[in-house]
Chain A
Amino acid sequence: MKALLPKADRLLLAALLLLALGWGLYRFACKAPGSQVVVYQDGQVAASWPLTQNRQLVLEHNIIQSEDGRVFMEWAECPDQICVKTGRIIVSGDMITCLPNRVIVRIEATGTTGGGVDVVAK
């Protein structure tokens, strides 16, 4: 029986299908309501946002940046710079602490907020 398409074409088609499937899965994973970046200042939640969001948080003595699912302390006005040296955190439970400025950055599993709400008036 003669094949409908030459072998090379069939291989290319299969590769394309795999590529499309992979891309689809990747997009789906990115959109899934996953972890939150939560920033605490003096023990209070100063800000939180989905880990999938690129965002820069500017506090009085710290700048926190989340980029492509990674969070890091971009700048800190503190003597030890431990928080900046911590580097990037990516996994739920990971934490960056800037003790001199009482700032904590944590990745947390999604909790009560969210649920399709864009913003909360309070």
Chain B
Amino acid sequence: MKRLLWALLLALFLCGCTSGAPVRSSISFTSLDTVVELTVYGRSERFNRKILAGAQELCESYDSIFSRTSPGSEISAFNRSQAGAPLGRETLELIHIALDYGARSGQVFDITIGPLSSLWNFHEGQTRVPTPHELEEALTHVGSGFLYFHDDGSLGKSDPAVQLDLGGIAKGYIADRLGDYFKTQGIENALINLGGNVLALGQKPGGEPWVVGVESPFSQEGALAATLPVTDRSLVTSGVSQRSFTDPQTGVLHHHILDPQTGWPVRNGLASVTIITETSIDAEALSTICFLLGLQDGMALLESTPGAEGIFIKEDGSIAVTSTLKNGYTVNWEGVAPQ
């Protein structure tokens, strides 16, 4: 009897050891004009909650700085100003990175598309197509040539109507900062999902890679085009299905990826581009750039960018991927079909 009681105690002790495994906790909230979902694995629910609350605060503070649509943000103040307004260190850092991407992409990526974004107003769910005259007028205020840096590093603009829109890059920057925050808090396994922009930190606690699904651009019900096992990678998709509307008069689908040269949503046969890189800011900028460049030039850019992978899905349902993606990942194609 005594011996068995000892065995029972030992068994209970061993059971106790397994509860040392990390606890999974998640939070979802609306911020950054989308639904944010954060999942962390940490030592206890209480500990995780504190970290997640901190992450939510971080998200909201970035939203209040970078947002083009909230009147109190630094970007709004700059956009309203005649010749520029004071910008914080992080805003300037983000603008420098964005301008670099603009230069690298032959200016297809342009953060001065603010006047066009306001006109199309995908943010408010508007369904009105701007007139050619309106677009022409807006285009005269688009171009990074209107921006200049003062000697003290602050940003100025040479045309009062110039407006910044960091929507094509800010979420990537914020996801990376959230990742940094989690790491400083001792979190090694986390999923950051900013409205479909994913940053997978580390891997699953068991040592398996995260499995990330890539949504098909043709599905209304969230069917997947592919699944990829990833470790420490960000996946960002630019596509026609997000933030878009169909013109009731012409039946034409207008999506949010605007060509800064023409002012119209770009049409080049692509339905979506998904980029896989280590940092989310690279994935986000490259997904917009590759969508704007089209399949051929976008693919060429990715092939010459170390560490960047891409999945291009065309409107006809065909798929093209970067050459190293085929070797480095086991992609499970779920089948993609246009409507």
- Nearest to B192 among chain A residues (CB) is A119
| Contact across chains for A49 and B1 when beta carbons are under 8 A apart | no
Closest chain-B Cβ to A67's Cβ sits at a distance in Å of: 9
Q: Is B56 an interface residue (CB 8 A)?
A: yes
Assign chain B's interface to a size class: 35 or more
| Contact across chains for B30 and A120 when beta carbons are under 8 A apart | no
Query: A6 contacts which chain B residues (CB < 8 A)?
Result: 1
- Nearest to A13 among chain B residues (CB) is B4
Report which of A53, A57, A58, A121 forms a contact with B237, defined as CB distance below 8 A: A121
Chain A contacts with B in 26-82, Cβ cutoff 8 A: 39, 41, 46-47, 49, 53-60
Closest chain-A Cβ to B207's Cβ sits at a distance in Å of: 14
Q: Within the assembled complex, what's the spacing in Å between the Cα atoms of A47 and B29? A: 9
Q: Is B138 an interface residue (CB 8 A)?
A: no
Query: A59 contacts which chain B residues (CB < 8 A)?
Result: 29-30
| Contact across chains for B30 and A60 when beta carbons are under 8 A apart | yes
Query: A118 contacts which chain B residues (CB < 8 A)?
Result: 191, 200, 204, 210-212
| Contact across chains for A119 and B191 when beta carbons are under 8 A apart | yes
Chain B positions near chain A (C-beta within 8 angstroms): 1, 4-5, 8, 11, 24-30, 35, 37, 39, 45, 49, 52, 56, 191, 193, 196-198, 200, 204, 210-215, 221-224, 227, 235-237, 239, 241-242, 274
Q: Is A93 an interface residue (CB 8 A)?
A: no
| Residue of A16, A53, A117, A119 contacting most chain B CB atoms (<10 Å) | A119
Beyond A9-B1, A121-B237, A122-B237, is A116–B211 a contact (Cβ under 8 Å)? yes
| Contact across chains for A57 and B223 when beta carbons are under 8 A apart | no
Residues of A in contact (CB 8 Å), total: 29
Beyond A6-B1, A9-B4, A112-B221, is A120–B28 a contact (Cβ under 8 Å)? no
Chain A positions near chain B (C-beta within 8 angstroms): 6, 8-9, 12-13, 16, 39, 41, 46-47, 49, 53-60, 112-113, 115-122
Report which of A8, A9, A46, A55 forms a contact with B27, defined as CB distance below 8 A: A55
Query: B221 contacts which chain A residues (CB < 8 A)?
Result: 112
| Contact across chains for A16 and B8 when beta carbons are under 8 A apart | yes
- Nearest to B209 among chain A residues (CB) is A118
- List 12 additional A-B contacts (Cβ < 8 Å) besides A12-B5, A54-B45, A112-B222: A56-B49, A58-B27, A58-B30, A113-B222, A118-B191, A118-B200, A119-B200, A119-B210, A119-B213, A120-B215, A120-B224, A121-B236
| Residue of A12, A16, A58 contacting most chain B CB atoms (<10 Å) | A58
| Contact across chains for A58 and B45 when beta carbons are under 8 A apart | no
| Contact across chains for A120 and B27 when beta carbons are under 8 A apart | no
Q: Within the assembled complex, what's the spacing in Å between the Cα atoms of A39 and B37? A: 13
A sample of 8 inter-chain contacts (CB < 8 A) reads A47-B35, A55-B28, A58-B56, A119-B213, A120-B213, A121-B196, A122-B215, A122-B241
Q: Within the assembled complex, what's the spacing in Å between the Cα atoms of A58 and B193? A: 15
Closest chain-A Cβ to B289's Cβ sits at a distance in Å of: 17
- Nearest to A117 among chain B residues (CB) is B213
| Residue of B28, B196, B235 contacting most chain A CB atoms (<10 Å) | B28
Query: B52 contacts which chain A residues (CB < 8 A)?
Result: 56
Q: Within the assembled complex, what's the spacing in Å between the Cα atoms of A122 and B224? A: 9
Closest chain-B Cβ to A89's Cβ sits at a distance in Å of: 18
Query: A56 contacts which chain B residues (CB < 8 A)?
Result: 27-28, 49, 52
| Contact across chains for A58 and B29 when beta carbons are under 8 A apart | yes
Q: Within the assembled complex, what's the spacing in Å between the Cα atoms of A56 and B210? A: 22
Q: Within the assembled complex, what's the spacing in Å between the Cα atoms of A117 and B204? A: 12
Report which of B49, B204, B222 forms a contact with A120, defined as CB distance below 8 A: B222
